[in-house]
Amino acid sequence: MIAANEQSPSLRSEGALSTAAWLTLAAAFLGWMFDGMEQGIFPLVARPALRELLAVDGDQQIGLWMGRLTAVFLVGAALGGGGFGWLGDKLGRVRAMSFSILVYSAFTGACYFATSPWQLAVFRFVAALGMGGEWSLGVALVMETWPSQHRPWLAGAIGAASNIGFLAIGGIGYFVPITAHSWRWVMLVGAAPAALTFFVRLFVPESQRWKEAVGRGEARPLREIFSAPLRRRTLIAITLASIALIGTWGSVQWIPLWADKLTNGTMPAAKALTQVLIASGAIVGCLGGALAARGGRRAAFAVLCAASFVTCALLFHGVSHYGGPFLLLAFLIGAFTAAFYGWLPLYLPELFPTRVRATAQGIGYNAGRILAAIGALGAGRLVEFYDGNYARMGAIITLVYVFGLGIIWLAPETKGRPLPE
């Protein structure tokens, strides 16, 4: 058995590291980037797509269906994270990851053919299965391949990669207006990552840590993460991920829709520019969130909760027109609320041993999506209740960050500790 503070032979060899580690990071980075594109597609196409599919203009029905479709997507991602994470612990990170990428690519492209909101929901659900799996598998693979001293900036790169994809699809939407008559072509863009599966299968080596862990005995990851030694850590992972995800999917993801409404749909580029600024802030935030955790994992999380709450409150309570203040706050909100996605890839792997890490991360992070799905449904109902008022809904949902300020101090501090074996 390898001691907790030692590296496997493959990691002690700089030659092996320079080849295996960089190939692994390249594949995972591209996978996370395409994840971000997948997540960024719907805030752009949701309002025009639902206007066409429902044949309505009012935001009460659009907001209600947006909540339903977001919830379906999050539930799919949660199930996919757990399911593909389990496959990754049983069959290997690389095989499971390539399959997850293929699933979310194919079914995002299938949304092109949707003729009703429920068909769109089915395709989004299956696509989300693959997307949720890719996140947990990629994190496990990279963190197990690279030495521990690189973990903070790797965690930032993980979060930044997703937001680069989010930014890219927003940039496309800015230069090519997305309307009720042109939204379908965007779904075809989401099918592009299918080509990445060939690169993953041909060039990315399997995790040596996983091979060694499997060699020590058969893993029973689902049973183990809910057994007495790890149960508390699993529940902590679910709770902390839920706070970040509820804030993002329950309010932040709705800001481009709000921009579209504030401009009465007469400026199709408004929602795209809003998304570009949110994503630009998020790239900075993810890198900052991971690096800030060098001073302590718990303190960094508390600071992010406070900053996210304050900036969201300023936007939802203080701005009522599309313009400079709206766009500036969109950038800042992107930075602070997305910084959690640089923090989580650093913290979650530090909670669990190698033999169950992919499953534990998949369950922890993606069970948070289940609670975020409930938040998204609640957000849709609030938009309907408040007669299409996105700001009042956002102000209520982002109170979740206040809860995070207190709960983080029940979590263990893992700064300076090696990944558990």
First to last CA, the chain: 9
d(CA 154, CA 145): 11
Residue with structure tokens 């590296």? 7
User: Is the pLDDT reported for residue 316 higher than 50?
Assistant: yes
* Percent of the chain predicted with pLDDT > 90: 17
d(CA 358, CA 375): 25
Using a 10 angstrom Cβ sphere, with 0-12 exposed, 13-18 middle and 19 or more buried, the burial of residue 73 is: buried
d(CA 98, CA 327): 37
Residue 306: pLDDT band with limits 50, 70, 90: very high
Residue 296: pLDDT band with limits 50, 70, 90: confident
Q: What value does the mean pLDDT of the chain take?
A: 81
Q: 138, 97 in Cβ contact below 8 A? A: yes
Task: Please state the separation of Cα 294 from the chain's center in Å.
Answer: 22
Q: Tell me, what's the pLDDT at 283?
A: 85
Q: 259, 270 in Cβ contact below 8 A? A: yes
Measured at the CA of 331, the angle between CA 330 and CA 332, to 5 degrees, comes to: 95
Measured at the CA of 342, the angle between CA 383 and CA 145, to 5 degrees, comes to: 135
Taken in order 318, 284, 301, 372, the sign of the CA dihedral is positive
Q: Tell me the Ramachandran region of residue 267: left when phi exceeds 0, alpha when psi lies from -120 to 50, beta otherwise.
A: beta
Residue with structure tokens 């299918």? 194
Residue 22 burial (CB count, 10 A): 12
Measured at the CA of 174, the angle between CA 56 and CA 323, to 5 degrees, comes to: 80
User: Is the pLDDT reported for residue 374 higher than 50?
Assistant: yes
| 369 token code pair | 């999506």
The tens digit of pLDDT for each residue in 67-108 reads 788 888 888 888 887 788 888 888 888 888 888 888 888 898
Q: 186, 271 in Cβ contact below 8 A? A: no
Residue 379 sits at φ, ψ, to 5 deg, of: -60, -45
Residue 211 burial (CB count, 10 A): 15
The tens digit of pLDDT for each residue in 109-126 reads 898 899 999 999 999 999
* Percent of the chain predicted with pLDDT > 70: 92
The tens digit of pLDDT for each residue in 167-197 reads 888 788 778 777 777 888 888 877 877 777 7
Residue 410: pLDDT band with limits 50, 70, 90: very high
For residue 370, which of 73, 104, 46 has the smallest C-alpha distance?
73
User: Is the pLDDT reported for residue 1 higher than 60?
Assistant: no
| 131 token code pair | 């997307």
Pick from 37-41, 75-79, 344-348: least confident: 37-41
Secondary structure letter of residue 181 according to DSSP:
T
Walk me through the domains of the chain, giving residue ranges and CATH numbers.
Answer: 13-410 (1.20.1250.20)
Helices then strands (H, E): number in the chain? 20, 0
